[in-house]
A and B are shown apart, each in its own frame.
Chain A
Amino acid sequence: MTAAAQAVSDAQVVAKDKERKSRFGRLPLHIAIVGLMVIWLIPTIGLLINSFRPPDAVLNSGWWTAIFAPSQLSLDNYAHVLAQSNIGAQFVNSLFITIPATIIPVLVAAFAAYAFAWMSFPGRNLLFVIVVGLLVVPLQTTLIPILQLYSPKGLNIAGSFLTVWLAHTGYGLPFAIFLLRNFMGGLPKEVFESAAIDGASPVTSFLRLALPMSIPAIAALVIFQFLFVWNDLLVALVFLGSSPQNLPLTVGISNLVTSLGGGWEFLGAAAFISMALPLLVFFALQRYFVRGITGGSVKG
């Protein structure tokens, strides 16, 4: 166990002690939190329950009636979704698309954010604002020029996974740089100064100080980039459409519905199936959201 992790557990012990002392005064806090959780959950619970019900029942009675008549519930919708012939391959495709499309922008953004935060060069602020301003570019306006670039007359890579990795990196960078530069910029100056005095190169400072100290921000970024790519339908459809065997889960799911809107009852079940992995990523990265991982370093 590292010193940082030790500090974390120490901090937790302190916090827990305090918690025990004032348990009764904290009732309003618990009520507020649980209340917000309930409000946020109700719509999703409605979908969850309806995902176990046949379409007639969903249309003719509210989801809450199923709580009192559980006999309506069945796994039919889930069975139908999982029985789609391509669903396994599409799940793997989604992973092939999402993992590199998360790693590349986060690392590239980390380099850029470090330069923006801790290196001085002329035009730094202006360049940074332009980079962030690119957030506003609607990605639909980029589809045609980029597909032209990928076409046989250009790079001739349309249909390969590489196309979506590169595109998602481009689309994800402005936010990633924005978030990481802000976080790295808030790290204490003294740490980097003393490292430089000890003869550490910027690469060493970056790998051994900036990166580890930014872990909460990086974890947040990984969660979002993963989620956006995982749930993306449009980019995959446009860039991978010429190689249908490479299409991700989202395309398969939207295809459960007919052109006239029939088959919507499967969307609920499909949503919960495709949500499972992003939630797992969220839970896995939760442990990096712990006080003290930056060594209590952000100055006041």
Chain B
Amino acid sequence: MDPRLVTAIEVVVGVPAVLFLYIILTEQILRPIPDRRRGTLRPWLWLAPALAFLAVFLVYPTIGTIIHSFQNSAGTKFVGLDNFVYFFTSPTTLVALKNNILWVILLTALTVGFGMLIAVLVDRVRYESVAKAVIFLPLAISMVAASVIWTFMFLYRAPGEPQTGTMNAFVGLFGVGPVPWLQVQDFSFNTILLIIVMAWMWTGFCMVIISAALKGISVELLEAARVDGANEWQVFRGIIFPLLLPTLAVVGTTVVITALKAFDIVYVMTGGNFDTQVMAQAMIQQMFVNSNFGRASAVAVVLLLTIIPVMALNIRRFQAQEAIR
């Protein structure tokens, strides 16, 4: 038999079987242990596989990153805070930092806002599945293809030439343009356009998760409110929105982090020119082009630190959730 076929069978049957076996075995392991100790030990057995994966694939490399951030480009000697000083004094990285703030605010607002709006709207129509697929579609497109799509959306040709870019052809109908979209730096217009491209891709992500939560809200509850004479807006504000809040926090946090790590779109669309650079791009440039692991790690550490306020908000939310349970 083809060894690949063997692999395939083992993969589909074996892998889930092993995992279920593990969790069933935990109770067997705990059985001989006295009741009180059992309760303390059990959560760790359930967490063990996840913590092991996280330790190896994320924590261990991150410790290395933190050490590297205090070292020179080749990691041969310690240079104190030099890499951080470079980060906070270089004009290009400061622009990147400013752009990332815009990314976080605008991308989160657009994707969570539209994601919730669409999830709530399509919940009421029969063609929900098709409508959701349409919004989800851009997420299934690879980054390479997305860059081709948007290159043709923003395409600029010399004035007087036929405009083959969708946006310039459109504004041309009104006698405007052509506009070199990605070169317009005023009010960070080009960065905003890049954020819109990313929002086009990620709204589907928010929509799918919000939609899953929406389906968990009991029908009886909504019907009861409607019977009591509440209009749709009141139902949304009074029942749906509060129940969606924890989920909105999850997608919001995820999108904030996505915005902090945004890289591909900028890299392929503008290469970071015209003041569109972002932090993750600076990091990858330092790491894989300049081979300066020290500076690359410093950017990564700054990224890690920016997450602290977001996490603090999450802690408070969990404590609130615990309290009402």
Contacts and interface: CB of A to CB of B under 8 A. Distances in A.
A290 B300 contact: no
Interface in A221-236: 223-224, 227, 231, 233
B215 interface: yes
A161 B140 CA distance: 23
Given A37-B134, A178-B250, A182-B250, A149 B56 contact: yes
B57 A44 contact: no
A201 B27 contact: yes
Given A103-B16, A278-B140, A203 B40 contact: no
Contact of B137 (A105, A120, A149, A279): A279
Contacts of A19: 124-126
A243 interface: no
A280 to B, nearest CB: 10
Given A178-B253, A183-B213, A186-B216, A145 B15 contact: no
A88 to B, nearest CB: 12
Contacts of B58: 134, 137, 142, 170-171, 174
B76 to A, nearest CB: 15
Nearest to A36: B118
B61 interface: yes
A129 B290 CA distance: 34
B135 A40 contact: yes
B64 interface: yes
Nearest to B288: A140
A107 interface: yes
Contact of A223 (B145, B208, B243): B208
Contacts of A271: 141-142, 144-145, 148
Interface stretch (B83-91, B183-191, B269-277, B279-287): B279-287
A246 to B, nearest CB: 10
Interface string B208-227: 11011111111111010000
B133 A279 contact: yes
Given A112-B47, A166-B57, A279-B133, A231 B142 contact: yes
Interface string A10-45: 010011100100000010011011001100111110
Range of interface residues on chain A?
Answer: 35 or more
Given A43-B150, A46-B149, A99-B12, A171 B216 contact: no
Given A109-B50, A267-B148, A293-B215, A121 B314 contact: no
A298 B19 contact: no
Interface in B16-73: 16, 19-20, 23-24, 26-27, 39-40, 42-44, 46-47, 49-51, 53-54, 56-62, 64-65
A293 B176 CA distance: 52
B8 A96 contact: yes
Given A140-B287, A186-B246, A250 B253 contact: no
A151 interface: no
Given A29-B125, A63-B166, A202 B217 contact: no
B49 A111 contact: yes
Contacts of A108: 19, 49-50, 53
A50, A105, A231 pick with most chain B CB within 10 angstroms? A231
Given A201-B27, A286-B132, A129 B218 contact: no
B131 interface: yes
A173 B54 contact: yes
A82 interface: no
B143 interface: yes
A133 interface: yes
Contact of A166 (B53, B136, B260): B53
A169 interface: yes
Nearest to B137: A44
B219 A291 contact: yes
Given A141-B61, A300-B221, A111 B215 contact: no
B254 A296 contact: no
Given A131-B54, A136-B307, A268-B148, A182 B215 contact: no
B57 A282 contact: no
Interface of B: 4, 7-8, 11-12, 15-16, 19-20, 23-24, 26-27, 39-40, 42-44, 46-47, 49-51, 53-54, 56-62, 64-65, 114, 118, 121-122, 124-126, 129, 131-145, 148-150, 152-153, 162-166, 169, 200, 203, 205, 208-209, 211-221, 223, 239, 243, 246-247, 249-250, 253-254, 257, 260-261, 280, 283-284, 287-288, 296-297, 300, 303-304, 306-308, 311, 314-315, 318-319, 321, 325
Give 9 closest A-B pairs by Cβ, nearest first.
A170-B57, A271-B145, A296-B218, A112-B50, A115-B46, A216-B212, A142-B61, A119-B43, A136-B307
Given A63-B166, A141-B64, A298-B217, 12 more contacts: A32-B121, A33-B122, A37-B135, A40-B134, A43-B138, A43-B200, A50-B152, A119-B46, A133-B308, A185-B318, A231-B142, A289-B208
